A and B are shown apart, each in its own frame.
Chain A
Amino acid sequence: MKKNFKIQDIERALFQLKKDTPEEAVFERVWYKLEDRINSRTHPHHVIWKPWGHPVRWVALAACFCVAVTGAFVQQQTNENNEVASFLVNVSNPMATITRDQNIVKVSALLSDSPSSVPDMSDEVRIDSLASDEIFL
């Protein structure tokens, strides 16, 4: 059953709370504890990071963790994709990689050149050179 209630009664009850003050000993005990804690600190203004102190920090921490994990995963995937791509290029078109490399001998070019452009390597020339050696000797 509902009963009528006046707001003033609540205000009066709340105002009564002010009159309840604890004993002096309570305040003294708290002060001694406080003093001890301050004196026992080696660095009075040190900063302690407590991410668990507030839910927002929890969220921030979780977000950082997610970004780090996702970043590592994406990086790994990219590396794998690059490796697979280069392997496939090698397999499908090996000449492309060979011609790209400047230091490698172009076998195909040597094979396709006309015989006239190839220096003459006949036995006579070799004999001549041997003969010249003989002269010097």
Chain B
Amino acid sequence: MTELEAIDRCRQGDIAGLHVLYEMHRAKVYNLSWRMLGSPQDAEDALQEIFLKVFDRIKNYRGDSAFSTWLYRMTTNHCLDILRRRKILTFLGFENAPEAEDKKDSEKAVNLGLSPVVAKALEKLPAKQKACLLMREMEEMSYEDIAAALQLSLGSVKSNIHRAKALLKEILEKEGVSQEDV
């Protein structure tokens, strides 16, 4: 079954269509959610929620852009929503502040397969910059696709990526990380 056929079947409420789309895109959605949210458990939940949203909202997909772009938009919006909610909960005191979770950060880093310092630095980036950077460097998406997925202008995407790299570099340098640690 091709992607278009799967989309059509999914629109008719056929779960088999959704399964095909899930098989095609699950790894990318999972990876992006994992890096955005910082833990594999959150990524699993996000993967489930995102494909549930796909099933419910596939009728809104008009086919103007590639399905993967639409899916990425949904993924980043979902992750940004979660991060925003986390920020509110942290502000209200329902969750611990990230500064107080050094141990948890290092655990996360092991999960991420990165050196703890890089993972920690990635956590400190603003959500939109992080999304742009991960899409570009990890998923190798074009600037145009990122702009479409995040509903940003091309210039804004480029500047977000540039700023994210500079900030990441600055954080790593401040913490005295050597190139071998990365």
A136 at the interface (CB under 8 A from B): no
Q: Given A2-B174, A30-B44, A31-B19, are A22 and B30 neighbors across the interface (CB < 8 Å)?
A: yes
| Of A10-18, A93-101, A121-129, the one with at least 4 CB within 8 A of chain B | A10-18
Min CB gap B126→A, angstroms: 16
Residues of A within 8 A of B176 (CB): 1-3
**Is B168 in contact with A21, judged by CB distance below 8 angstroms?**
no
Give the chain A neighbours of B22 by CB distance below 8 A: 31, 34
B81: chain A residues within 8 A (beta carbon): 53-54
Q: Which of A2-48 contact B (CB under 8 A)?
A: 2-7, 9-22, 26-27, 29-31, 33-35, 37-39, 44-45
A55: interface (CB < 8 Å): yes
Nearest residue, chain B, Cβ from A18: B138
Q: Which residues of B contact A39 (CB under 8 A)?
A: 15
Residue in contact with A7 in the complex, picked from B88, B113, B169, B177, CB distance below 8 Å: B169
The count of residues in chain A whose C-beta lies closer than 8 Å to any C-beta of chain B is 37
Contacts of B139 in A (CB 8 A): 18
Interface residue from B26, B113, B174, B179 paired with A9 (Cβ < 8 Å): B179
**Which residue of the partner chain, among A2, A14, A26, A38, contacts B138 with CB atoms under 8 Å?**
A14
Q: Which residue of A lies closest to B26 (CB)?
A: A27
Q: Is the CB of A21 within 8 A of B172?
A: no
Given contacts A18-B138, A34-B51, A55-B88, contact A5 B177 (CB under 8 A): yes
Closest Cβ of chain B to A25, distance in Å, is 11
- Shortest CB-to-CB span from B168 to chain A, Å, is 5
Residues of B within 8 A of A (CB): 13, 15, 18-19, 22, 26-27, 30-31, 35, 40, 44, 47-48, 51-52, 55-56, 81, 84, 88, 112-115, 118, 133-134, 137-140, 165, 168-169, 172-174, 176-179, 182
A selection of 17 A-B contacts at a CB cut-off of 8 Å is A5-B169, A5-B173, A5-B177, A6-B179, A9-B179, A13-B114, A13-B182, A15-B137, A16-B113, A19-B113, A21-B27, A26-B30, A26-B44, A34-B18, A34-B51, A37-B52, A39-B15
Residues of A that sit less than 8 Å from B by CB: 1-7, 9-22, 26-27, 29-31, 33-35, 37-39, 44-45, 53-55
